[in-house]
Chains A and B, each alone.
Chain A
Amino acid sequence: MNSLTQRLTLLTTLWVAIGLGLIAWFVVRTDERQIQTAADARLGSLLDAVVAAVAFDPAVGPLLLRPLADPEFDRPLSGHYWQITGPGGSQATSRSLWDSRLVPPLRESEGVRARDVDGPRAERLRLLERDVQIEGRFGRILITAQVAVAREGTDEEIASLRRNVILAFALLGTGLVAVVALLVIWGLRPLRRTQQELVEVREGRRQHMDVAAPTEIAPLVAEIEALIEQNRATVDRARNHVGNLAHALKTPIAVLRNALQTGDVAGARAQSATLERLVQHHLRRARAGALAGTAGAESTPLAIAEALATALRRLTAARGIVIRVSGESEARIRADSQDLTEMLGNLMENACKYGNGQVAVRVEQAAPGRVVIEVADDGPGLPEGEDGVALLRGVRLDEAKPGSGLGLAIVSDLAALYDGYLTLETSPRLGGLAARLHLPGRLATETHRGPEPYRGPDWPGLSAPRR
């Protein structure tokens, strides 16, 4: 079942049915008992009247000295009966019993006994009976007095009570379910409006979402707004890139065409190289532009560095370069992992290319919210008198020659897209270049562990070099 309305309504119905059903059952039972008790009390006083009037005449058997006040006992088969039973089965009954008799007495216990029996009209009777000892001329005589009244009245009372209670609770339950269903439908209305506006945005009929959303949904709407905005920015960037690419390609194509017409093979070759470099550059830019700031992206720098190290060891197997990766495994960087792989891949490849066989990658949290990845080598390092920052600032992507500053420029460019930056220093440990990539990030475990000292190749964070 995939509808919230259906789910909530079903759950409410179930709960209301069980809950209210139990309460109704309890209420009905309590009231039934009360009605029965009241009826038994009335019957008890009738029995008392019979007992008070009982006498015994040896000639006729048990008899009532005074008739009972209620005329119903004299009307045949009225539903009100009494019967007294003396020794040897001698009996006297109310006139209402006519030619029938009540059930014989049980005489099994002291005091008043109550039970339900069948009456002369096959009606259900409530019967009370009690044993009485009478002092007579012939000693003590045991007489049992029975009084019975038809249950019809009581049963009707109970049935009507049950009907009323069930009706009341059913109404209450239906009302509750209806209210919940209404609440859900009403509560979800902003979502429906949001969806409607999204459709309009998608179809280009509106630019922004204008839903006045309640506080619970407002963040969602805001996020969707942000997503739309980001999407728009991405599309704009892509459009810009396509434009730039087209412009950048036009010149070399023109030159190439001329070179081909004049049979200038060397010129054609040079232009095709230029074209190739441009295509590479714009492909990378496009990739970066498309991925930059993608929502929710987070990547694990240590794992990425390890994977790159494994790949680079394969690529440089002939040179046997030792690549060490160490640092904070819990570090997370707020960047798409493909982009981080691209940045780190370029830095580590450079280190392999210009180093003399030693490359060390270290991941550290520099400050809360800031992760630094250092890629160091034992190569010649920064040229004498060169400032790393100035060096980077001087590099422009489309002017850089392949193999020289191009890799670093891509890294610097990508880092900037993620609100980060690249610095170049001299590595104090290996003596060559130390490229430090500063990016926004955090530790997955919120407990802050300070940067650990370098402990040599046996440190578990290091991966063993493979030849």
Chain B
Amino acid sequence: MRLLIVEDSPELHQQLRTGLTEAGFAVDGAMDGEEAFYLGETEPYDAVVLDLGLPRLDGLTVLRRWRAAERAMPVLILTARDSWTEKVEGLNAGADDYLAKPFAMAELVARLNALIRRSNGVAKTELVFGEVRLDTAARAVSRAGQAVRLTALEYGMLAYLALHAGRPISKTELTEHLYAQDFDRDSNTLEVIVARLRRKLGDSLIETVRGQGYRLIAAGSG
């Protein structure tokens, strides 16, 4: 899952980057409103963490411009402004969630997971595919009741395929959602990750659709 973090305070920006990367997200960052708008308009993010007080272009304007340009990715506003007037303004400008500083990283991660799930039309936190269970809130995967340890990239790919279960996902789309912008992208690594997932979770879970990419079999109850 690929995130855009828009935060102008360098310390908090770094903390967010570290925290969210540790939580398994691919993270891009913007330090001002104009850069944020450009990135959000051109890159396919699964969610955005948006501060309101930004240099060059304030957060609400950035948000309104994205929505006007029909960019529909979920946006979580992360700000020190916590009055209800400001919350209403932010949410009614098109934000999907609102978190006031100071905040706990765990809560931010949980809310982002929920947002991403909801934006893909998935209501439950736990997705089941045969004997494989994926708990998106806890970021835990089990097979036949046994916990399976996955790397961040493995989990990211599994979660993305699971949220779009039944639809073939191209390698390009996977690359765009698994790697941050400045990451060295190599589509061959995707094949390696898929191979490792098949080894850990069973061969039949992910099928290769010739010329189209990979598909997670939607046999389970989602």
Contact = CB atoms under 8 A, between A and B. Distances in A.
B123 A318 contact: yes
A12 interface: no
A341 interface: yes
A144 B9 CA distance: 116
Contacts of B198: none
Given A307-B92, A314-B91, A345 B98 contact: no
B88 A308 contact: yes
Interface stretch (B19-27, B31-39, B79-87, B206-214): B79-87
B92 A338 contact: no
B52 interface: no
Contacts of B82: 280, 283
A318 B95 contact: no
A276 interface: yes
Given A310-B91, A341-B88, A345-B88, A315 B83 contact: no
Contact of B83 (A276, A317, A338): A338
Contact of B91 (A280, A287, A311, A338): A311
B10 interface: no
B91 A315 contact: yes
B84 A317 contact: no
A125 to B, nearest CB: 89
A143 interface: no
B85 A338 contact: yes
With a 10 A CB-CB cut-off, give which of A287, A307, A310, A346 has the most chain B CB atoms.
A307
B123 to A, nearest CB: 7
A413 interface: no
A314 B97 contact: yes
B118 A318 contact: yes
A462 to B, nearest CB: 19
A344 interface: yes
Interface string B72-108: 0000000000111101100110011110001000000
B95 A314 contact: yes
Nearest to A307: B88
**9 A-B pairs with the lowest CB-CB distances in the bound complex, closest first:** A345-B84, A311-B91, A311-B88, A341-B85, A341-B84, A338-B85, A314-B91, A307-B88, A342-B84
7 contacts: A311-B87, A311-B91, A315-B87, A315-B97, A341-B85, A344-B84, A346-B84
Interface of A: 276, 280, 283, 287, 307-308, 310-311, 314-315, 317-318, 337-338, 341-342, 344-346
Interface of B: 82-85, 87-88, 91-92, 95-98, 102, 114, 118, 123
Given A280-B82, A310-B91, A341-B88, 17 more contacts: A276-B102, A287-B83, A307-B92, A308-B84, A310-B92, A311-B88, A314-B95, A315-B97, A317-B96, A318-B114, A318-B118, A318-B123, A341-B85, A342-B83, A342-B84, A342-B85, A346-B84
